[in-house]
Chains A and B, each alone.
Chain A
Amino acid sequence: MSEHADTAHPALRHHFDDLNQQHAAGTLGMWFFLVTEILFFGPLFFTYALFRSGSLDPSFQNAFIAASHHQNITLGLTNTIVLIASSLTVALGVYFAQTNKKKPLVLMLVLTLLCGVAFLVIKGIEYNQHFAHHLFPGQGFHWDGAPELARGGQMFYILYFCMTGLHAFHMVIGIGIFIYILMRAMRNDFSSDYYVPIEVSGLYWHFVDIVWIFLFPMLYLIDPASKH
């Protein structure tokens, strides 16, 4: 692309010299934001490790295993597959934007959104099951296993709801971002000259996906073989 096209593109913001600078700033900004996000989820992972290790209360080790047996592995696995599929569609979307293929781009963005919504629906079904089984922490929490594990079991579910809740909140934000990206894509905003917004939103989406990749084994697969 010529120097002129680079400095006169309609998407160029007034305070940047050219699109390259604008793109580099946007991408770097998202990477730094994801570092912040790691530190945002970090304390929850740390708290999980602290209680799961049993270093404070040894009974928590078995309690976490017992509590994880209440999880629906089928639904959790389905959600994992749904999210990984959505990461693929996002990556393909960036590719189709780079190669000026509008129709496949729109299709990929729609598929991404459908995956995101499907994830939240399945998560909602799971939450509903937990409520029905009185596993939501607090006054209504009811533990039907060994009584000495009740406290650790409740701790597991506090962390489960905090971690998956924060993750689901990020999914909602991601869906909002991709609705906006989809609208812009349908408006022909993107081309091989200008696709960084999709790439940057994709980085965020992949990050949220990766968080789930860690949450799934921690919250569903602690020790499924021990379930009798």
Chain B
Amino acid sequence: MTTDAIDSAQTPRHEEGTNYINAEYGLLSWLFTIDHKRIAILYMISVTALFFVGGIFALLLRLELMTPQGDLFTSDTYNKLFTLHGVVMIFFFLIPAVPSVLGNFILPLQLGARDLAFPKINLLSWYLYVIGALMGVVVMLLGGVDTGWTFYTPFSTTYSNTWVVPTVLAGFIAGFSSILTGLNFIVTIHKMRAPGLTWFRLPLMVWALYGTSLIQLLATPVLGIALLLIAVERLWQVGIFNPALGGDPILFQHLFWFYSHPAVYIMILPAMGVISEVIACFSRRKIFGYKFVAFSSLAIAFLGFLIWAHHLFVAGISVYSAMIFSFLTMFVAVPSAIKTFNWTSTLYKGSVSYEAPMLYALGFIGMFLIGGLTGLFLATLGIDIHVHDTYFVVAHFHYVMVGSVIMAYFAGIHYWWPKMTGRMYPEWWARLAALLVFVGFNLTFFPQFLLGYLGMPRRYHAYVPEFQVLNVMSTAGATILGAGYLLPLIYFVWALKYAPRASANPWGASGLEWHTPSPPTTHNFEDTPTVTWEAYDEKAWLKEAEKNV
């Protein structure tokens, strides 16, 4: 009933059947497009490719770890595998995935705008991403890099005999892609909101993207210069970070984590935005505590800048600064918990339904809970010293970055897939994939908490035989997880051609993106919409839709 009412309100006045996909044809029309929706699709294709490259490295790592002996790869090869896994997944998948794919597509639609503020810069940012990613691929073909994705000095600048300089330059270039995306989003959110769309009527996805963009703008340049200094130190054989030449290796770690800790929030904040949208939609309720969820995004962005040195607890920083950073780190749990409580409260007395995006979102809440709470363990100085550089840390950040962020990315892809492509997806298969991902993920990474607590160090290709059972469980889980990630690739490609066509608002969701046809026309809206209702106020939204009939 409800969706029908909305559909009829959306009878398009433009030429029937014209949309952003069929507006122009040919490869060049895609490569030179400045339409944010087409650029989002370009991003989606490229990050998906890189995701599976990084995934192959992960599977190879798990394969080696099935047995205690280092039998499949040499330790050098293993070093390269985990480095490439980290570099590819972080710089070329997790950082761009949610903002550059989902944010790019959805943000102008949610704001009632025709495009981002700087469409050409948006395209430039995709090209920078592609150049960075291709450099990464070239590094792999040449023989890889073995420093870990953290490029710690002086190993990376003096002792490593692998392709460090091209790798850091690839990260540098991809960083500029990220900065330009953030810049574009911030200006768009400030200046291009539809009439009546005040700050507190914005969907929570927009607040989350705003916080994300702030971090991209403020943190990424610091990493950029730190990576350039590695190249300088390596090429000219000078010692900015090398203590043997008067430099300071801890300085590098400060500069690196000043970006790379907030970078975790570049990944998780927009993911939280997706979850807010999906939970509100499939609970058929206004989100509980809108302003708290909105401001907690900004709080996370702000606090994220004050806690980087918790990565340096055993690196030789002073005890007092370690205590301060430990304390501040626990503070981040507050806005994160606010979000989690508000999502769960939204479910309460909502009419919850379990479509695939909702399954992913519920999975996200569970995974994020575990990932977040184990973060508190690690913020505690005593425990951190015990489990530092063990699989406990590996499990913790995979729960946040894979269990949470990738779950949210999949939630968002399924949720907005009808809008992006104009087709539905096969619901049964999607639910199966969500289940596989959930089971596979937990089976992969929960045993790693135990391994870490028992003392298995990370980044070694061999281990003592006592750890084999848990490692075999983990590898089995990774196989299931791999299948769970492969399945959507297959049914999404299938859905492009064979799935039923989607209506303008198949979920009965609120938000301006559902006021346009699926898929939208190139200019998004026939007329700029005027917003008179509060965020997620479905009843007011429906009245508006009926008025237009």
Contact B226 A43 (CB under 8 A): yes
Contact A15 B238 (CB under 8 A): no
Cβ distance B498 to chain A, nearest Cβ, rounded Å: 34
Given contacts A47-B251, A158-B232, A36 and B218 within 8 Å (CB-CB): yes
Question: Which of chain A's residues have a CB closer than 8 A to the CB of B186?
Answer: 28, 32
Instruction: Answer whether residue A152 sits at the interface, using C-beta atoms and an 8 A cutoff.
Output: yes
Closest to A42 in B: B222
Instruction: Answer whether residue A151 sits at the interface, using C-beta atoms and an 8 A cutoff.
Output: yes
Question: Which of chain B's residues have a CB closer than 8 A to the CB of A36?
Answer: 179, 183, 217-218, 220-221
Contact B187 A32 (CB under 8 A): yes
Question: Which of chain B's residues have a CB closer than 8 A to the CB of A33?
Answer: 183
Instruction: Answer whether residue A5 sits at the interface, using C-beta atoms and an 8 A cutoff.
Output: no
Instruction: Answer whether residue B245 sits at the interface, using C-beta atoms and an 8 A cutoff.
Output: yes
Instruction: Answer whether residue B240 sits at the interface, using C-beta atoms and an 8 A cutoff.
Output: yes
Of the candidate stretches B73-81, B112-120, B332-340, the one touching chain A is B112-120
Question: Which of chain B's residues have a CB closer than 8 A to the CB of A24?
Answer: 191
Contact B238 A40 (CB under 8 A): no
Contact B237 A138 (CB under 8 A): yes
By DSSP majority rule, is chain B's interface helix, strand, loop, or mixed? helix
Cβ distance B181 to chain A, nearest Cβ, rounded Å: 12
Question: Which of chain A's residues have a CB closer than 8 A to the CB of B229?
Answer: 43, 47, 162
Instruction: Answer whether residue A1 sits at the interface, using C-beta atoms and an 8 A cutoff.
Output: no
Question: Which of chain A's residues have a CB closer than 8 A to the CB of B191?
Answer: 21, 24-25, 28
CA distance A43 to B229 in the complex (A): 10
CA distance A47 to B222 in the complex (A): 12
Question: Which of chain A's residues have a CB closer than 8 A to the CB of B117?
Answer: 15, 25, 29
- Number of A residues contacting the other chain (C-beta, 8 Å)? 37
CA distance A29 to B184 in the complex (A): 7
Partner of A14, one of B114, B238, B248: B114
Cβ distance B402 to chain A, nearest Cβ, rounded Å: 28
Closest to A165 in B: B232
Cβ distance A159 to chain B, nearest Cβ, rounded Å: 8
CA distance A1 to B187 in the complex (A): 25
Contact B115 A39 (CB under 8 A): no
Contact A151 B245 (CB under 8 A): yes
Instruction: Answer whether residue B465 sits at the interface, using C-beta atoms and an 8 A cutoff.
Output: no
CA distance A155 to B240 in the complex (A): 7
Contact A44 B251 (CB under 8 A): no
Question: Which of chain A's residues have a CB closer than 8 A to the CB of B219?
Answer: 39
Closest to A33 in B: B183
Instruction: Find residues 22-39 in chain A having any chain B CB closer than 8 Å to their own CB.
Output: 24-25, 28-29, 32-33, 35-37, 39
Contact A139 B237 (CB under 8 A): yes
Question: Which of chain B's residues have a CB closer than 8 A to the CB of A40?
Answer: 221-222, 224-225
Instruction: Answer whether residue A57 sits at the interface, using C-beta atoms and an 8 A cutoff.
Output: yes
Contact A152 B246 (CB under 8 A): yes
Contact A162 B232 (CB under 8 A): yes
Instruction: Answer whether residue A56 sits at the interface, using C-beta atoms and an 8 A cutoff.
Output: yes
Closest to B237 in A: A138
CA distance A36 to B213 in the complex (A): 11
Question: Which of chain A's residues have a CB closer than 8 A to the CB of B218?
Answer: 35-36, 39
CA distance A56 to B249 in the complex (A): 11
Cβ distance A178 to chain B, nearest Cβ, rounded Å: 19
Cβ distance B256 to chain A, nearest Cβ, rounded Å: 10
Cβ distance B54 to chain A, nearest Cβ, rounded Å: 27
Instruction: Answer whether residue A87 sits at the interface, using C-beta atoms and an 8 A cutoff.
Output: no
CA distance A162 to B236 in the complex (A): 12
Q: Mark A161-179, 1 if CB is under 8 A from B, else 0.
A: 0100000000000000000
Instruction: Answer whether residue A154 sits at the interface, using C-beta atoms and an 8 A cutoff.
Output: yes
Question: Which of chain A's residues have a CB closer than 8 A to the CB of B115?
Answer: 14-15
Question: Which of chain A's residues have a CB closer than 8 A to the CB of B224?
Answer: 40
Contact A43 B225 (CB under 8 A): yes
Instruction: Answer whether residue B192 sits at the interface, using C-beta atoms and an 8 A cutoff.
Output: yes
Instruction: Find residues 161-202 in chain B having any chain A CB closer than 8 Å to their own CB.
Output: 179, 183-184, 186-188, 190-192
Question: Which of chain B's residues have a CB closer than 8 A to the CB of A41?
Answer: 225
Instruction: Answer whether residue B528 sits at the interface, using C-beta atoms and an 8 A cutoff.
Output: yes
Given contacts A14-B114, A36-B179, A40-B224, A29 and B187 within 8 Å (CB-CB): yes
Instruction: Answer whether residue A183 sits at the interface, using C-beta atoms and an 8 A cutoff.
Output: no
Question: Which of chain A's residues have a CB closer than 8 A to the CB of B245?
Answer: 151, 154
Instruction: Answer whether residue B542 sits at the interface, using C-beta atoms and an 8 A cutoff.
Output: no
Question: Which of chain B's residues have a CB closer than 8 A to the CB of A197?
Answer: none
Question: Which of chain A's residues have a CB closer than 8 A to the CB of B394?
Answer: none
Question: Which of chain B's residues have a CB closer than 8 A to the CB of A37?
Answer: 221
CA distance A162 to B225 in the complex (A): 10
Instruction: Answer whether residue A17 sits at the interface, using C-beta atoms and an 8 A cutoff.
Output: yes
CA distance A154 to B239 in the complex (A): 9
Closest to A56 in B: B248
Contact A47 B238 (CB under 8 A): no
Contact A15 B237 (CB under 8 A): no
CA distance A38 to B237 in the complex (A): 27
Given contacts A35-B218, A43-B255, A154-B246, A137 and B238 within 8 Å (CB-CB): yes
Cβ distance B128 to chain A, nearest Cβ, rounded Å: 14
Instruction: Answer whether residue A121 sits at the interface, using C-beta atoms and an 8 A cutoff.
Output: no
Question: Which of chain A's residues have a CB closer than 8 A to the CB of B113?
Answer: 15
Cβ distance B223 to chain A, nearest Cβ, rounded Å: 9
Instruction: Answer whether residue A50 sits at the interface, using C-beta atoms and an 8 A cutoff.
Output: yes
Cβ distance A179 to chain B, nearest Cβ, rounded Å: 19
CA distance A162 to B232 in the complex (A): 9
- Of the A-B pairs whose beta carbons lie under 8 Å apart in the complex, a sample of 23, sorted by A's number, is A14-B114, A15-B114, A15-B116, A28-B186, A29-B117, A29-B118, A32-B183, A35-B218, A36-B217, A40-B224, A42-B221, A43-B255, A46-B255, A47-B229, A60-B246, A137-B236, A138-B236, A151-B245, A154-B239, A154-B245, A158-B232, A158-B238, A162-B232
Please give me the 10 A-B residue pairs with the lowest Cβ-Cβ distance, nearest first: A40-B221, A15-B115, A15-B114, A151-B246, A138-B236, A39-B221, A25-B117, A25-B191, A137-B238, A43-B225
Instruction: Taking A14-B115, A14-B523, A155-B239 as given, write out 19 further A-B residue pairs in contact, using a Cβ cutoff of 8 Å, ordered by the A residue number.
Output: A17-B528, A21-B191, A21-B192, A25-B117, A25-B187, A25-B191, A29-B117, A32-B186, A35-B217, A40-B221, A40-B224, A40-B225, A47-B229, A50-B251, A51-B248, A137-B236, A138-B237, A151-B245, A158-B238
